[in-house]
Structure 1
Amino acid sequence: MISLERNFGAELDDLKAQLNELQQLVHSFIHAPERQEALSSKSLTIPNRAEQHSEDRDDSVVFFSGQYRGERHHYWREPQVRRSSDLSKMDSDKISRILSALGHKQRLDILKSVGAEPLTGAEIVDRLQMGTTGQLYHHLKALLGADLLVQEERGGKYMIPSHRVLPLMFLFAAASEILDTSDYIELTEARSQAGDFLGDSPEQYDVHLLLQSVLENCIAEHRAGYCSQVTIVLHQDGSITVADNGRGIPVHALSDSKKTRVQAVLTEMRSSLSASVQAPHGTKGISIPVVNALSQSLSVVISREGKIFRQDFKHGIPQNVLMTVGQSEETGTSMTFRPDPNIFSAGFRLVKLEEIIALITESYPELSIQLLHD
């Protein structure tokens, strides 16, 4: 079994490294020549805590600034202040018009393309494989009307107005911070459409299908030559633990986001990062994200690279970031989950568990599976 003893020394070392990296970033930003020049003409004084409590006791403020450096242009936005009370009073109708102009995949693709370099209509159609310029016209009209695009001259190239570049970058940056909410929407949909995965009879939803999905991933690791032992522990609270001695789910961040691979494995419904099983009369496969979504709680503990990592979920949604909780020379993944009693009317049964293990052992005699219970 995987030990959960914490190594506070290792955690402090990681924290110090992060603080040093942050200090270097702040230092380089403060000493950038462009920043010095901009701040010489206009500066912003951020009030201390005492001043904020005395002057803005019932209000909060947002401070922001930024710069965009491209191959041909460099934009700087001096520090700005927005009171949250003023933001809450913004015209919702106008905001919705702006967001509706942007709330279309092809329009966002157009903005990203012309943001990289000015393009003619024909070049946009070719780059985005839109088929005809007629299809492009409707989107261009909306973006031009919202002052998010300009055209050099009739028939010329399209580009983003210089005064809109940074606000759009701010918007994209903000969207990147909440990009993972799309995964959570799909997890919630999986819960509300559980029959697609479990069959058409709610009273017969089988929790053992979730276990089989987790075991299928252990089997895949075994077939790859890395897993020889699996331990299953049935707990008194109705939860179950599946621990293997495989490589451990990778913990590094994905190249295109801050999300770790383990979080992607557990939350991305449409990915093919995990194996799946098919329920009788189910129309969709039960993968690890489905197990996570249909569980009241799930915790994953991973041993690899000399460390032990842990992350907790509720109804599929992360409750914390991936944490380093200890050190270990072993490798493997331990997943503890409790099927949601609001979805499943019955829990795990020892007889059924023994049947599942017997079938797996028959097919994979070199994979050792141990069943324990509290």
Structure 2
Amino acid sequence: MEAADRPASRLSEGDFWALEGLKAQLVEAGEGAADGGVLFTGAVRLPAGERYEWQHGALTEGLLDADWTEAAEAFAALGHPVRLRLLREILGGRRTAAELAEPAEVGTTGQIYHHLRQLTGAGWLHTTGRGRHEVPPGRVVPLLVALSAARG
């Protein structure tokens, strides 16, 4: 059975095929990869039918040497419960402000637009025209990875 066909919401703890692949890539990369690296990847089908496959890897040295403050805006945008709810609704198929206003918990239209601007400014959303919003394809898997990491 392929990983995508497994009924569990979590892959088995013994499934280290991604880690083993990362280690092999680090060995091939040679001395520059001596401190290791990280890899995140995903194959996702959203409730509205869109499919995304994505992966990203980075060497530890580059991550530790980078200016982490550059990530603050992206993390801050995710730090509000209403923004997370809006992202979940958008991934679920609600795309316009009117559709997003249907759940009572998200606030007024003005508040929704405020949160949409914050998410757009941080790169978690973009407007596709006619007031429709979507999570950019290159952000779907990273968003789900961030949520998975936050859950532990």
Please indicate, yes or no, whether the TM-score normalized by the shorter chain is above 0.5.
yes
Deviation at 1:174, TM superposition (A): 1.2
Change (3 A) 1:169 1:115: same
Aligned alpha-carbon RMSD (Å): 2.9
Counterparts of 1:124-135 in structure 2, within 5 Å, are 124-135=100-111
Which residue does the alignment assign to 1:81?
57
From 126, 144, 147, the counterpart of 1:172: 147
Count residues in correspondence: 135
Which residue does the alignment assign to 2:2?
28
- Does the aligned pair in 1 maintain the 2:85–2:106 contact within 8 Å? no
Which residue does the alignment assign to 2:13?
none
**d(CA) in 2 for partners of 1:103, 1:94:** 16
Deviation at 1:113, TM superposition (A): 0.9
Structure with higher Rg: it is: 1
**d(CA) in 2 for partners of 1:30, 1:98:** 28
**d(CA) in 1 for partners of 2:69, 2:25:** 35
Deviation at 1:85, TM superposition (A): 1.4
From 107, 126, 130, the counterpart of 1:150: 126
Aligned to 2:143, what secondary structure does the other structure show? helix
- Does the aligned pair in 2 maintain the 1:61–1:84 contact within 8 Å? yes
Deviation at 1:138, TM superposition (A): 1.4
**d(CA) in 2 for partners of 1:148, 1:141:** 10
Structure (1 or 2) with the greater helix fraction: 2
Matched, 1:117 2:98: no
Identity of aligned residues (%): 30
Deviation at 1:46, TM superposition (A): 4.1
Matched, 1:101 2:53: no
Counterparts of 1:192-271 in structure 2, within 5 Å, are none
Aligned to 2:42, what secondary structure does the other structure show? strand
Deviation at 1:48, TM superposition (A): 8.4
From 151, 156, 159, the counterpart of 2:134: 159
**d(CA) in 2 for partners of 1:119, 1:128:** 16
Matched, 1:55 2:31: yes
**Deviation sequence 1:238-284 (CA, Å, 0-9, x none):** xxxxxxxxxxxxxxxxxxxxxxxxxxxxxxxxxxxxxxxxxxxxxxx
**d(CA) in 1 for partners of 2:94, 2:78:** 19
Aligned to 1:117, what secondary structure does the other structure show? coil
Aligned to 2:66, what secondary structure does the other structure show? coil
- Does the aligned pair in 2 maintain the 1:109–1:128 contact within 8 Å? no
Aligned to 1:47, what secondary structure does the other structure show? helix
**d(CA) in 1 for partners of 2:53, 2:150:** 20
Q: Note the residue ranges of structure 1 that are not aligned, 5 or more in a row.
A: 1-26, 32-43, 178-374
Q: Note the residue ranges of structure 2 that are not aligned, 5 or more in a row.
A: 6-20
Which residue does the alignment assign to 1:295?
none
Displaced runs of 4 or more, over 4 A? none
**d(CA) in 2 for partners of 1:30, 1:102:** 27
**Deviation sequence 1:153-184 (CA, Å, 0-9, x none):** 24x3222112211111111111121xxxxxxx
Q: Match of 1:93, as an amino acid?
A: T
Which residue does the alignment assign to 1:279?
none
Change (3 A) 1:157 1:62: same
Change (3 A) 1:57 1:134: closer
Deviation at 1:91, TM superposition (A): 2.1
Q: Match of 1:137, as an amino acid?
A: Y
Matched, 1:65 2:41: yes
Aligned to 1:86, what secondary structure does the other structure show? helix
Q: Match of 2:3, as an amino acid?
A: F
Which residue does the alignment assign to 2:114?
138
